[in-house]
Amino acid sequence: MACYAGDEPWKFQGALEFRSILYPKLPSSLDTHFQGTAWLNFSVQRRWEGFGKIFVSSLAEIDTHHDVARTRLIDWNERDLRHPVFRPREAYWENRFGRLDLRVGRQEIRWGRADGINPTDNLEPYDFLNPFLEERLPVTAVKGDLYLGQSHLELAWMPFYVPSRMSLLGQRWFPRLPSQAQVSGLVVPLRFREGARRYPAYTVGNSQFGVRWNHALPGIEFSFSYYDGINDLPFYTAQLISAAPSLQLQQGPAAVGWRAFDARSQIVPTVDVRLDREYHRLRVVGSDFSGTLGSWGMRGEAAYNIRSDDRDDSYLSYVFGFDRQKGRWFTIVEFAGQWTAKRGSVPQPSSFDRGLGRALLLRTQYEMRTDETLELVGLLRLPAGDSGWRLTYSRKLADGWQLELRGSAFAGNNNAFLGQFRDSGNLAAKLVYRW
């Protein structure tokens, strides 16, 4: 019998990471110029012959800017606005039964073959406290992978809903809200507050599942998928909590925002608006592929989002791209787009799933020396022209030690999806030690 890499019964891994971010500008009074964070990530793995493997990983975190809640030690459900100090990441058992691989427990599940933008990847929510750090939140699931020749069937059942963690209201990464509204020609300041979070109850009826059929042919592989669950992104509704009883708040066109007025059209002091969150059911039918054309890689993905609530859009989201390795250069170019099949009554264009719209993604990496790279990532929205750019220098300093220096910038109109972050350009440094 061939030797397998998992012959060692125990495996311990860890990473200690220090990150600092410097923001030259302060979009709001709640923001800070400097943010420092330290993470300790630790994992343990144990294998048994015939019994499979148990894997457990966890994360401890502390920071300078209170994205980490000092009063919350553990948050198993990941439903708090902020990170807890201690976060269990994954804890699962997996084993092989003939053609079936079974994994039970808290785990990461990633779908989609495109690079960077994955419309079919809906099983695992995101951590958007800093949306450009690309962090994910593991889910509790029973996942089966059935291998039948060149086909591979994935089935996942997630009994407990985990929402995406959104960026903090009033801070730099929260989608831009109107700071004022017009009242019969007069300007009324608006102040938004965090409201109710109506999470789905822990019932079997609120569980989620996904199925994905993959097939490989010479030179190409593809999949078809179906997801039936709950949107990990919240649907925001605005509730007026101003003291003026006759004041009414009406939802205007999304581009304008809310309007506040009273019956006498009198000047109203600052209007407090409460943002409540709801989570709507969502079904997604998707497909993806990856293949090669000569020295070029090709990848594509498409997903049709079917919304259950009339206030949401039903839309198609797609991405298609090429990649090429030439000498020391590796480059990816992708085009992403959306087509709205049914416009909801209350669109939320600034949400992270709809805001991008049509865009061009560029990623190019240059290997300067062994274990030293320079990478440029750019996202350009079309036709608005707002964009986001990130330049990263990465270098291995010594065994286990890695340094990363990064600069990010955003450009464009303040009201555009990426342009709204233009005051959040930053310089970041990350030092990681792994063992």
User: Could you tell me if 256 and 146 are in contact, meaning their C-beta atoms sit under 8 angstroms apart?
Assistant: no
Q: Which of 205, 245, 253, 294 is the binder for other proteins (CB under 8 A)?
A: 294
Q: Does 109 bind other proteins (CB under 8 A)?
A: yes
Q: Using only C-alpha atoms, what is the Rg of the chain?
A: 23
Q: How far is the CB of 334 from other proteins (least distance, A)?
A: 14
Name 278's Cβ contacts closer than 8 Å, sequence gap at least 6. Answer: 198, 234, 235, 237
Structure token pair of residue 409 = 């910038």
- Return the closest-CA partner of residue 171 out of 18, 19, 67: 67
| Angle, alpha carbons 7-9-10 (nearest 5°) | 130
CA 169 – CA 171 distance, rounded (Å): 6
Q: How far is the CB of 429 from other proteins (least distance, A)?
A: 17
Q: Which stretch binds other proteins (CB under 8 A): 60-68, 228-236, 393-401, 405-413?
A: 393-401
Q: Which of 371, 385, 413, 414 is the binder for other proteins (CB under 8 A)?
A: 371
Name 339's Cβ contacts closer than 8 Å, sequence gap at least 6. Answer: 315, 316, 318
User: Could you tell me if 377 and 389 are in contact, meaning their C-beta atoms sit under 8 angstroms apart?
Assistant: yes
Q: Does 147 bind other proteins (CB under 8 A)?
A: yes
CA 104 – CA 156 distance, rounded (Å): 10
DSSP-assigned letters across all residues of 15-61: EEEEEEEE-S--SSTT--SEEEEEEEEEEEEEEETTTEEEEEEEEEE
- Specify the residue, 70 or 96, whose C-beta has the smaller distance to other proteins: 96
Q: Dihedrals φ, ψ of 315, to 5°?
A: -155, 160
Q: Does 10 bind other proteins (CB under 8 A)?
A: no
Q: Does 76 bind other proteins (CB under 8 A)?
A: no
- Specify the residue, 14 or 349, whose C-beta has the smaller distance to other proteins: 14
- Specify the residue, 299 or 381, whose C-beta has the smaller distance to other proteins: 299
Q: Which of 194, 367, 404, 423 is the binder for other proteins (CB under 8 A)?
A: 367
**Per CB under 8 A, which of residues 235..264 are in contact with other proteins?**
none
Q: Which of 63, 101, 194, 423 is the binder for other proteins (CB under 8 A)?
A: 101
CA 195 – CA 172 distance, rounded (Å): 19
Structure token pair of residue 213 = 């059929």
String marking each residue 398-417 x if it binds other proteins according to CB under 8 A: -xx-x---------------
Q: How far is the CB of 367 from other proteins (least distance, A)?
A: 7
Q: Which stretch binds other proteins (CB under 8 A): 161-169, 172-180, 293-301, 341-349?
A: 293-301
Name 74's Cβ contacts closer than 8 Å, sequence gap at least 6. Answer: 84, 85, 86, 87, 88
**Per CB under 8 A, which of residues 205..224 are in contact with other proteins?**
216, 218-219, 221
Q: Which of 133, 324, 331, 415 is the binder for other proteins (CB under 8 A)?
A: 324
Q: Does 9 bind other proteins (CB under 8 A)?
A: no
> To which H or E segment does residue 108 belong?
none
- Specify the residue, 151 or 414, whose C-beta has the smaller distance to other proteins: 151
Q: How far is the CB of 196 from other proteins (least distance, A)?
A: 34
**Chain residues that interact with other proteins, rule: CB under 8 A:** 1-6, 13, 15, 94, 96, 101, 108-110, 113, 145, 147, 152, 216, 218-219, 221, 290-297, 323-328, 367, 369-371, 396, 399-400, 402, 434-435
